[in-house]
Amino acid sequence: MTNQQSRSGDPEAGDDPARQEVDLVTLLERLLAQAPGKTQKDLASEADISYPTLNAWMNRTRGTSRIDPEKLRAMVEVFRRWGVRTTPREFFEAVGRPAPGPSGDEREARLLKLYRQLPEARQRALLKDAEAMLQVSRIT
C-alpha cells in the first residue's frame, strides 16, 4: 500500500534517525505535530486535496505511490506557510520516488518555446517521449 522502504542492507541506517526513510504517513504526522492547531482537514483544504483522499493515505487504506507530484508540492507549500520547515525531497522520498530537480521558470519557458516551434506530429512525439521518461524514472 504505502512505500515504506527499509535499508536492511545498511548497518548504520538505524543509528541515525535522519537517515531512516519514512513513509508519507509518518512524515505527515511529524509535520502536523509541528503545526499547532492545524489538522488533516486544514491540510487537505489548503493543499486542494479532498479530505477523504488525505484521510485514506493517513489510514493506509489508499496507496501513495501515484500521488500527483503537484499535490506533494502543494503540501510542502502549505506546511511552509504554517512555519514548518520541510522540502519537496522529503515528500517525494516518503512516497518512494526520486525527487525531481528544480523546475526553474527559465528552463520551463525555454522548453515551452521549443515545443511551440515544433510541428504538431513532433509535439505529440515529444509528449510520448516525456511520458515514457517519467514512467522509467518511477521504476528506477
In terms of domains, do 116 and 83 share one?
no
- Residue 17 is predicted with a pLDDT of 44
Q: Which range among 11-15, 69-73, 79-83 shows the weakest confidence by mean pLDDT? A: 11-15
Our count of domains for the chain comes to 2
Domain assignment of residue 1, yes or no: no
- Residue 18 is predicted with a pLDDT of 46
More confident residue, 126 or 15: 126
In terms of domains, do 62 and 121 share one?
no
Domain assignment of residue 8, yes or no: no
In terms of domains, do 56 and 30 share one?
yes
In terms of domains, do 51 and 119 share one?
no
Domain assignment of residue 100, yes or no: no
Place of cell 509535439: 123
pLDDT at 67 over 50: yes
CATH number at residue 49: 1.10.260
In terms of domains, do 33 and 88 share one?
yes
Place of cell 493543499: 47
- b/e burial code for range 25-61 (CB count within 10 A of at least 16 → b): bebbeebbeebeebebeebbebbebeeeebeebbeee
Average per-residue pLDDT for the chain: 83
- Residue 19 is predicted with a pLDDT of 41
In terms of domains, do 82 and 37 share one?
yes
What is 3-55 written as a DSSP string?
A: -----TT-TTTTT-GGGS---HHHHHHHHHHTSTT--HHHHHHHTT--HHHHH
Percent of the chain with pLDDT over 90: 56
In terms of domains, do 87 and 50 share one?
yes
Residue type, 73: R
- Determine the Cα–Cα distance for residues 84 and 24; give it in Å rounded to an integer: 16
pLDDT at 6 over 50: no
Contact 53, 62 (CB under 8 A): yes
Domain around 131: 110-139
What is the mean pLDDT of the segment spanning 48-60? 94
What is the mean pLDDT of the segment spanning 77-103? 89
Place of cell 518512494: 96
